[in-house]
Amino acid sequence: MNPSGEQTENYPIRAEMRQVCVARPDDGSDARHVLSHLAALRCLEGMTQHNAPTKVVVLGGGYSGTVAANRLRLAPTDIDITLVNPRPHFVERIRLHQFAAGNYDAAVDYGTMLGEGVRLVVDTAERIDAAARTVHLASGATLNYDYLIYAVGSTGAVPASVPGAGEYAYPIAEFEHAQRLRATLDELHPDAPVTVVGAGLTGIETASELAEQGRRVTLVCGGQLAPSLSEPGRRSIAKWMRRHGVTVMENDVVTEVRPDAVVFADGAVRPSAVTVWTAGFGVPDLAAHSGLHTDALGRLLTDDTLTSIDDDRIVAAGDAAAPPGEPPRMSCQAASQIGPQAAQTVLSRIAGTMPAEFDYGFVGSCVSLGRRAGTIQLARKDDTPVNYYIGGRVAAWLKEAICKGTVWGIRREGRKPGTAFWYKGGKRASQPAAEVVTQS
């Protein structure tokens, strides 16, 4: 995934490409320019005619990439920041279950998210040529860079080993996935059975959102409900599910998805008008396709400063990064901490100083249970849960505040770069090295 936009003579862009330049004049007003003219058009704010600026391209405009792009504005020298994203809007991924249920719009205007001088190119990166320091886009355009931040994020993984899953199941990890599910649910009779496969945080939130609307929901756990939570936290979620009529099949495993049913490992067949698949995550294959070293999942292998082991001009951030040891759990919480540190690594290299080793820490997990309840699982910094949670309406209020605060924090970094922070003490030490995979 990738976001950022606008062109200069160094950034040839196809004529029909949409470009957005965000600028904030001295009078405090916001000026946003949506340009759809010929490819020669360019945004003039912040450009100089003398010294060529350092060009930094950020691939991916999610939580990690957007905050990284804003952080780069700390550079003391002239810098040209381009954010590449396949969508013209920022997606609140942690709210996609709400979007699918029809009670929230998870799209946010990038004009409100990006700091002065950060350009948005709405396109998709197809290949990185590290030797030439260029990014080849789906539109046919090419972007040159001095430094690249690889923040393409993650996506839902529907297993090919489950017959019918790819054809009939509905993933929910991306905006377009949730949009397709939302359209299907809008046409579905309220009494039609819905099956949610996967009982991690996304599956729980999706099932509870639909159950609160009165739908007949079955949650298939494949082993355990909310495995990342403590036992008290799991009990609180199970209690909510029972109270709202959700059928929880904790140990059952789906082995086939049909247009109107799911088949289980024991041969049982249960009707399912819509099957939502939330079990598992994957990452785009851009790094592997570009000949860069990745782990077995496809995440870009880096050193402790988040720098690619192949090229010190490429720095990774977010879900698609695989630093030494155990990579952070794919989450908004980790991505929001890694993004600014990836930007700091680039800024250090521009300044000719030694980048710092990255660090992070968790504080817990937030699970919404519909709009009126939730479970906040507290955890140690290494992401292991403690036997304490906050539930009910207080947890729902806290979860909503955290979701709003996440967007607010990115906007604040855009207005005042350097304000984003990160914790320390995450799961780094004494972990096995990631398996190295090379693909070209």
Q: What is the mean pLDDT of residues 375-382?
A: 96
Integer Cα distance of 196 and 181 in angstroms: 12
For residue 290, give the nearest of 298, 302, 280, 281 by alpha carbon.
298
Measured in Å, how far apart are the chain's first and last C-alpha atoms? 19
What tens digit of pLDDT does each residue of 17-76 get? 333 444 333 344 333 333 322 233 333 333 334 478 999 999 999 999 999 999 999 998
Provide the pLDDT confidence category of residue 428 given band limits of 50, 70 and 90: low
Block residue for tokens 């920041």: 81
pLDDT score of 19: 39
What tens digit of pLDDT does each residue of 151-174 get? 999 998 899 999 999 999 999 999
Element (H, E) at 239: helix 231-243
What tens digit of pLDDT does each residue of 117-143 get? 999 999 999 999 999 999 999 999 999
Query: pTM for the whole thing?
Result: 0.85
pLDDT score of 365: 95
Contact in structure between 184 and 274 (CB atoms under 8 Å):
yes
**pLDDT above 90 (res 228):** yes
Question: If you average pLDDT over every residue of the chain, what do you get?
Answer: 88
pLDDT score of 426: 74
The DSSP bridge pattern shows strands 274-277 and 19-23 to be unpaired
325 bridge partner residues: none
Provide the pLDDT confidence category of residue 409 given band limits of 50, 70 and 90: very high
Q: What is the mean pLDDT of residues 194-219?
A: 98
Which has the minimum average pLDDT: 36-50, 111-125, 192-206, 294-308? Answer: 36-50
DSSP per position, 104-170: ---EEEGGGTSPTTEEEEE--EEEEETTTTEEEETTS-EEE-SEEEE----EE---TTSTTHHHH-E
Q: Look at the alpha carbons of 367, 262, 250, 154 in this order and tell me if their dihedral is positive or negative.
A: negative
Integer Cα distance of 104 and 115 in angstroms: 25
